[in-house]
Structure 1
Amino acid sequence: MSTTVGFMMDLLRWDGWPNAAEWQAFWAFVTAVIALVAAIIALRQYRISVNSRLEQARPFVVVDFRFLGALYACIDVSNAGQTAARNIRFEWSERPVALDERSQEALDRAMVDGSIPFLAPGRKISYMLNRYDDDQNPTDLPRRYEVKAIYDGPAGDSWDSESVLDVDQWAATLVERDRYADVTSQLKKLAEAAHNQKQADEALTRAADSLNVHLEAGFRVQTARQRIQEEREARWKIQEERTARLFGSAQPANSPAGDDAPAAEGSDPIE
């Protein structure tokens, strides 16, 4: 057996073939290389894991369109990240044009000339942009915006995200109705109906009061006329009674004496 092993060892010891020590050094080198590669891979995985956790923990600001009905477009600024975004600034490819002066001032103050100081995770801020209706508004309004949001994280790290706002992208799509806008519209209609009903009730009350005033005035006039007529009739009756008493008492004294009336005694007849 030992002879066979010795013979095999002699066969492996060719000229130029590594000996045992050299083989041991070679495999030690291979092991070191494999360990180095494994360490590099582990380090890379660690960095990917750290970056992934940082990405998950970072704030992420999204700028997008939101449509009210099929005409009005709003700009929504939302934080889809896990931490708060601070000092949010915006860089626009073209200055956004709002619907009216008040909306333009709000948009410029927060998203053009100024910034948004703080936006918590999951929160959203909306700004009215414009009405994209070719029948009502001119077609020269900007229809595509490229905006870059730059903001700071809780640890002071600076982050950025880019968004593309394209009106034509939504031109032929179905726009979901804004349920809050529908509720608001219905509430406005109910308020207007209640206001109109209140106005109608007030008008009816005023008409009833006016009619009552006219009726009372007519009743007072009629009562005054009736009282005047009664007073007049009473005066006429009193006057007739006075006249009757006057003529009744004066008739015997003024009645003429008849020819057959006897002459008073001791009086001479008148010749």
Structure 2
Amino acid sequence: MTSALTVLAADFGSWKPDDWSAAASVASTVLTLLAVVIALLAALYARQQVTLARQLREEQAQPFVVVDFQDNPAMRQGIDFVVENMGQTLATNVRIVVDPPFSSTLDDTGFPLKDAPLIAQGIPSLPPRKRFTALFDSAPERQATDLPSRYIATVHFDDAHGRRQEPLTYILDLSVRRKLLSVSEYGLTDGVQALREMSKTLKEVRSELTRERHRQAAIERASSEARSGDTAVPEPEADPT
């Protein structure tokens, strides 16, 4: 049988039935190989898509524990330390390692954050969207000290099945909060302070009104007594005889 190269190089007008049969075989083989290659590429692409979809589902289903500093909603210029599971599944055995250990101007109150169970012992379970908030410090008081402004927090945790997850590291930098323009928000503490000042002012006004009332009453009594003395009829003098 004529080889494939001979068939391809031959003059089509002089081809014999065997030549056409060989050409058909070559074409069929090439098409079959192309179909196999296309099928393999499609299978690889489909497998890659399945793998990516599975990885995306796994990532979306994993817990995601975040730690950060945030503004305290009730205390002006107060700083909160927040721990929250922003993932879609339960986080377990949550441990937070902070370097250097937390230090605050509020440590003297008897509740230093570094010794709180949240840091010292960890969190046994943290459901999705569950948040723990702890008052960390007051910005004005802290700025007047030489306490650290930068902490590195590493969060270790397991998923709902007890499988260890990749640790997450956060840089908590308080210096980025300085010299930032912001709108003043008045919270509960400001409201309580305003009510106290209002109550004090009302007491002073009430006392002043009471004193003024007493003064006016005294003036009226004195005026009334004076008028009574002027209109009194004098008693007749006794006859000496």
TM norm structure 2? 0.63
Per the alignment, residue 80 of structure 1 pairs with 86
Q: Distance in 2 between matches of 1:176 and 1:41?
A: 52
SS at structure 2 position matched to 1:36: helix
Per the alignment, residue 37 of structure 2 pairs with 33
* Residue 130 of structure 2 corresponds to residue 123 of structure 1: yes
> Does structure 2 retain, via aligned residues, the 8 Å contact 1:109–1:115?
no
> Does structure 1 retain, via aligned residues, the 8 Å contact 2:93–2:125?
yes
- Equivalent position to 2:169, from 162, 169, 172: 162
Per the alignment, residue 56 of structure 2 pairs with 52
Alignment size in residue pairs: 187
CA RMSD across the alignment:
3.5
Q: Distance in 1 between matches of 2:177 and 2:66?
A: 18
| Offset of residue 115 of structure 1 | 0.8
- Which residue identity is paired with 1:144? R
> Does structure 1 retain, via aligned residues, the 8 Å contact 2:76–2:185?
no
Per the alignment, residue 172 of structure 1 pairs with 179
Could you report, residue by residue, the CA deviation over 1:145-174 in whole angstroms, capped at 9, with x for unpaired residues?
A: 221212111133332323221111111224
SS at structure 2 position matched to 1:133: helix
> Does structure 1 retain, via aligned residues, the 8 Å contact 2:95–2:123?
yes
Could you report, residue by residue, the CA deviation over 1:224-245 in whole angstroms, capped at 9, with x for unpaired residues?
A: xxxxxxxxxxxxxxxxxxxxxx
SS at structure 1 position matched to 2:111: helix
- Equivalent position to 2:120, from 113, 121, 125: 113
Per the alignment, residue 183 of structure 1 pairs with 188
| Offset of residue 177 of structure 1 | 5.2
* Residue 111 of structure 2 corresponds to residue 103 of structure 1: yes
Q: Distance in 1 between matches of 2:49 and 2:138?
A: 49
Tell which structure's C-alpha radius of gyration is larger.
Answer: 1
* Residue 151 of structure 2 corresponds to residue 145 of structure 1: yes
Deviates more, 1:116-125 or 1:159-168: 159-168
> Does structure 2 retain, via aligned residues, the 8 Å contact 1:57–1:83?
yes
> Does structure 1 retain, via aligned residues, the 8 Å contact 2:154–2:170?
yes
Q: Distance in 2 between matches of 1:178 and 1:103?
A: 27
SS at structure 1 position matched to 2:125: strand
TM norm structure 1? 0.57
Q: Percent identity?
A: 28
Q: Distance in 1 between matches of 2:14 and 2:66?
A: 73
Could you report, residue by residue, the CA deviation over 1:50-85 in whole angstroms, capped at 9, with x for unpaired residues?
A: 111122222111111112355332111111111221
SS at structure 1 position matched to 2:144: coil
> Does structure 1 retain, via aligned residues, the 8 Å contact 2:67–2:84?
yes
Per the alignment, residue 229 of structure 2 pairs with none
Q: Distance in 2 between matches of 1:135 and 1:163?
A: 21
Per the alignment, residue 230 of structure 2 pairs with none
Q: Distance in 2 between matches of 1:45 and 1:185?
A: 56
In structure 1, list runs of 5 or more residues that go unmatched: 199-271
Per the alignment, residue 20 of structure 1 pairs with 24
Q: Distance in 1 between matches of 2:71 and 2:156?
A: 25
| Offset of residue 23 of structure 1 | 3.0
Q: Distance in 2 between matches of 1:8 and 1:110?
A: 94
Q: Distance in 1 between matches of 2:142 and 2:63?
A: 40
Q: Distance in 2 between matches of 1:130 and 1:47?
A: 46
